[in-house]
C-alpha cells in the first residue's frame, strides 16, 4: 500500500468549459465549485481573470460561497514579451483577482516558442523565471503549467528540462507537466515523468488530455513515476476528446492503488457529483462511465447474475455503494431464472410461491423481445409484467377507442387533435385534447379523460421519449420501438411499446407509465393504511 498523498486539481470550470456544447453561467460555476468542495478537491481552477467578464465576476463572487475545504486557483500566462510586469494588463488582473493560488502556463516546446511566440528560447526562459519570481514576491502560491511538455521533451529534451529548472529556481510550488495535444502513451508518460521527478527539485503534477484515449492511464503511470498531483475534470469534460476524468482516476488511485487523497472519505459522493455536474452542463450523463455510470454495475447475462447471487466479487471489481452507485440487473433475452428472481426481490415481489413462474416469465420475455420489445431501460413495463404474472396487478382503466387527427393548414401550421373513450369501474369518459404532435395530443387526451378518476395523474411528467426503427429495410412500414421515461413522487421509470404504427407504440409506452404510477400509488396507500 502507498502512503503518498495525491493532490487533486480540478479544471472543470476552465478546461471543462471548453467542451463543445457547454456554456456555464456564473451561477453554474459557483454551483459546480460547491459540489467540488463537497468532494474535497484540493484546488478548483475557476478560470482566467481578464479573459472574459464572466471569469472576472466569478472570482469576486466565489468568496461568498464559503467553501469549506477547496482552494480557488486562477489561471494565467507569463508576462508578455517586451512588456513590464506593471503594464501587462492580464497579469495584473491575475494578481488582483483574489485567488491565493495562481497557475501560470508557459511554453516548453521549442517548436511552439519559435513558431507561435516568435521569440528566442532564452527569452522564453526569462519570461518563465521573471513571472514566477514576481508572483512569489507578492506572496502567491504559484504552479507552472508546462504546456506541451511531453511533446517538447520528445523533440528537445534538454530545453524542456531547462524550462522546469528555471521555474523551480524562481520558486514555483509545483511544476505541472502538460500533454496538451493528448497524444502521449502510458509508457512514454511514465518514463518522461520519471526523468522530470528525478531531475528537478520541485513537486511534479500532471495534466493529460484524452486524444489517444489514455488520459487516465497516463495519469496513473505518472503517479507511479513520482508525480504528486493530478489535474483533470469531472466526467472528463474538455475540448476535443476531453481531459483526464477525475471520477475515474480518484477511485482508481484510492481503491486500486492505495494512495491517499483528500477525497478518500468522500468517494460515496462521487456518482452524485458526477451526475449533478452533467445536469448543470446540460449534457447526457455517460451511462457507461467507469464507477459513476448508470450501467457501470449493470448485469445482463443470466450466468453472471447467478454468480452474483453467491458473491458480488465474481463480476464486480468494487462495491458500487463505495462510489455512491448501485447494482442493476437488466432484463433481456439473455436473462436466466436467477435474473428474474433477483429483479423480483428488488421490487418486493415474491415468486417462490410458484416454482415454475420464473421460467414462464423468461419465455414471455423472450417472445416479446423477438417482437422488438426491450426491457433494459423499461423497468416500469417489466414490473407490470411480473405483477400481472403473480396476479397482483389488474389495469386501472380500459380503452374503448381513440382517434388522432392531424391537419396541415394553408399557412403550413400543423394542428393535431385526439379524441379518446376510456372506461373506469364501469363509467365511460369520452373527451378530446390538442397537442403539438399526434402523440402529444393523445397523451393530453388520455390524461384529461383519467383526471376525474385519478387526480394524482397531474403529478406525472414525461421526461424523455425515444423512437427506434427496428427493421429499416421495411421503410415506412418498419416496426418502431418507443421508450418513454416518466416521473412522479420523486421517482422515475421507463416503459416500452412496439408496433409498426408509431402512435400505437407510443400508446403502449404511455399507458404502461400511467398504470405503473397508479399501481405504485396504490401500494404506498395500502402500506400506509396497514401501518396506521
All cell numbers assigned to 136 = 512569489
* Grid coordinates belonging to 233: 475534470
Listed by start position, the domains of the chain span 7-281, 298-371, 397-453
Please report the sign of the dihedral spanned by the C-alpha atoms of residue 446, residue 452, residue 456, residue 461: positive
- Over range 425-436, report the average pLDDT: 94
**How do residues 182-224 score in pLDDT, each as one tens digit?**
999 999 999 999 999 999 999 999 999 999 999 999 999 999 9
DSSP 8-state symbol, 202: S
Q: Distance (Å, rounded) from C-alpha 376 to C-alpha 361?
A: 15
Q: How does pLDDT run across 228-237, given as a tens digit for each residue?
A: 999 999 999 9
Q: What is the pLDDT of residue 334?
A: 45
- Predicted pLDDT at 333: 46
CATH number, domain 397-453, options 3.30.43, 3.30.160, 1.10.287, 3.30.40: 3.30.160
Place of cell 394524482: 456
In this prediction, residue 488 carries a pLDDT of: 85
Provide the pLDDT confidence category of residue 2 given band limits of 50, 70 and 90.
very low
Question: 362 vs 472, which has greater pLDDT?
Answer: 362
Q: For 482-526, write each residue's pLDDT tens digit.
A: 988 888 877 788 899 999 999 999 999 999 999 999 998 887 777
- Classify residue 20 by its DSSP letter: T
Give the CATH class of 7-281: alpha beta
Contacts 24+ apart (CB under 8 A), 271-275: 271/247, 271/323, 271/324, 271/325, 272/324, 273/35, 273/36, 273/38, 273/39, 273/234, 273/247, 274/234, 274/235, 274/247
pLDDT at 382: 84
pLDDT tens track for 365-402:
777 777 788 776 678 888 888 888 888 888 999 999 99
Binned at pLDDT 50, 70 and 90, residue 307 comes out as low
pLDDT band at 1 (very low <50, low <70, confident <90, very high): very low
Q: What are 147's strand-pairing partners?
A: 107
pLDDT digits (tens, 9 = 90+) for 129-148: 999 999 999 999 999 999 99
Q: Where are the alpha helices (DSSP H) in 209-356?
A: 215-224, 246-251, 270-281, 302-310, 337-346
Contacts (Cβ under 8 Å, ≥6 apart) of 181 = 148, 151, 209, 211
Provide the pLDDT for residue 318.
Answer: 85
> What pLDDT sits at residue 491?
79
pLDDT per position as a tens digit, 102-126? 999 999 999 989 888 889 999 999 9
pLDDT at 530 over 70: no
One fold for 7-281 and 397-453: no
Q: How do strand 398-408 and strand 7-10 relate by DSSP bridges?
A: unpaired
Q: What is the pLDDT of residues 5-20, one digit of tens each?
A: 999 999 999 999 999 9
Which H/E stretch holds residue 487?
A: strand 480-488
CA-closest candidate to residue 450, choices 491, 398, 524, 408? 398
Q: Give the three cell numbers for residue 144.
A: 507552472
Give the number of other Cβ atoms within 10 Å of residue 181's Cβ: 15
Is it the case that residue 335 has pLDDT exceeding 90? Answer: no
Q: State pLDDT tens for residues 66-83.
A: 899 999 999 999 999 989
Q: Whole-angstrom Cα distance, residue 160 to residue 373? A: 58
pLDDT interval class at 343 (50, 70, 90): low
pLDDT digits (tens, 9 = 90+) for 143-192: 999 999 999 999 999 999 999 999 999 999 999 999 999 999 999 999 99
Q: Quick: pLDDT tens for 451-494.
A: 999 999 989 988 888 888 887 666 667 888 898 888 887 778 88
Q: Which three cell numbers stand for residue 363?
A: 419465455
Amino acid at each position: 500500500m502507498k502512503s503518498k498523498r495525491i493532490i487533486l486539481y480540478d479544471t472543470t470550470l476552465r478546461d471543462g468549459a471548453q467542451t463543445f456544447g457547454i456554456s456555464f453561467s456564473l451561477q453554474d460555476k459557483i454551483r459546480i465549485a460547491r459540489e467540488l468542495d463537497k468532494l474535497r478537491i484540493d484546488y478548483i481552477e475557476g478560470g482566467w481573470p481578464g479573459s472574459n467578464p464572466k471569469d472576472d465576476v466569478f472570482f469576486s463572487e466565489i468568496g461568498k460561497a464559503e467553501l469549506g475545504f477547496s482552494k480557488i486557483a486562477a489561471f494565467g500566462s507569463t508576462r508578455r514579451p517586451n512588456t513590464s510586469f506593471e503594464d501587462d494588463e492580464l497579469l495584473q488582473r491575475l494578481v488582483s483577482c483574489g485567488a491565493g493560488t495562481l497557475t501560470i502556463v508557459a511554453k516548453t516546446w521549442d517548436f511552439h516558442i519559435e513558431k507561435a511566440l516568435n521569440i528566442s528560447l532564452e527569452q522564453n526562459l526569462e519570461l518563465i523565471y521573471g513571472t514566477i519570481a514576481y508572483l512569489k514576491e507578492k506572496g502567491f502560491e504559484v504552479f507552472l503549467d508546462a504546456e506541451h511538455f511531453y511533446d517538447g521533451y520528445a523533440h528537445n529534451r534538454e530545453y524542456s528540462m531547462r524550462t522546469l529548472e528555471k521555474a523551480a529556481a524562481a520558486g514555483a510550488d509545483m511544476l505541472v507537466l502538460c500533454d496538451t495535444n493528448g497524444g502521449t502513451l502510458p509508457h512514454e508518460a511514465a518514463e518522461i515523468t520519471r526523468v522530470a521527478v528525478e531531475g528537478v527539485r520541485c513537486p511534479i503534477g500532471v495534466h493529460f488530455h484524452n486524444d489517444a484515449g489514455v488520459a487516465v492511464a497516463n495519469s496513473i503511470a505518472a503517479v507511479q513515476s513520482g508525480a504528486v498531483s493530478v489535474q483533470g475534470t469531472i466526467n472528463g469534460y474538455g475540448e476535443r476528446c476531453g481531459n483526464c476524468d477525475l471520477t475515474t482516476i480518484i477511485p482508481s488511485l484510492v481503491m486500486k492503488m492505495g494512495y491517499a487523497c483528500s477525497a478518500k472519505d468522500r468517494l460515496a459522493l462521487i456518482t452524485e457529483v458526477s451526475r449533478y455536474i452533467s445536469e448543470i452542463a446540460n449534457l447526457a450523463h455517460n451511462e457507461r462511465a467507469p464507477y459513476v455510470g448508470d450501467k457501470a454495475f449493470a448485469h445482463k447475462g443470466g450466468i453472471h447474475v447467478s454468480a452474483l447471487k453467491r458473491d458480488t466479487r465474481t463480476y464486480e471489481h468494487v462495491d458500487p455503494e463505495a462510489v455512491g452507485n448501485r447494482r442493476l440487473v437488466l432484463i433481456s433475452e439473455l436473462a436466466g431464472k436467477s435474473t428474474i428472481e433477483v429483479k423480483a426481490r428488488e421490487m418486493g415481489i415474491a415468486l417462490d410461491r410458484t416454482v415454475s413462474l420464473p421460467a414462464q416469465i423468461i419465455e414471455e420475455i423472450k417472445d416479446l423481445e423477438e417482437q422488438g420489445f426491450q426491457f433494459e431501460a423499461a423497468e416500469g413495463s417489466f414490473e407490470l409484467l411480473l405483477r400481472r404474472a403473480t396476479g397482483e396487478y389488474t389495469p386501472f382503466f380500459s380503452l374503448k377507442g381513440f382517434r388522432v387527427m392531424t391537419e396541415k393548414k394553408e399557412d403550413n401550421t400543423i394542428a393535431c387533435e385526439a379524441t379518446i373513450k376510456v372506461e373506469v369501474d364501469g363509467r365511460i369518459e369520452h373527451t378530446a385534447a390538442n397537442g403539438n404532435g399526434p402523440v402529444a395530443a393523445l397523451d393530453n387526451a388520455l390524461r384529461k379523460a383519467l383526471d376525474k378518476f385519478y387526480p394524482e395523474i397531474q403529478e406525472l411528467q414525461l421526461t424523455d421519449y425515444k423512437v427506434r426503427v427496428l427493421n429499416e429495410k421495411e421503410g415506412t412500414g418498419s416496426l418502431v420501438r418507443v421508450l418513454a421515461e416518466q416521473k412522479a413522487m420523486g421517482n422515475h421509470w421507463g416503459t416500452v411499446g412496439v408496433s409498426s404504427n408509431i402512435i400505437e407504440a407510443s400508446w403502449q409506452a404511455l399507458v404502461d407509465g400511467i398504470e405503473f404510477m397508479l399501481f405504485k400509488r396504490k401500494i404506498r396507500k395500502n402500506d400506509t393504511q396497514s401501518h396506521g
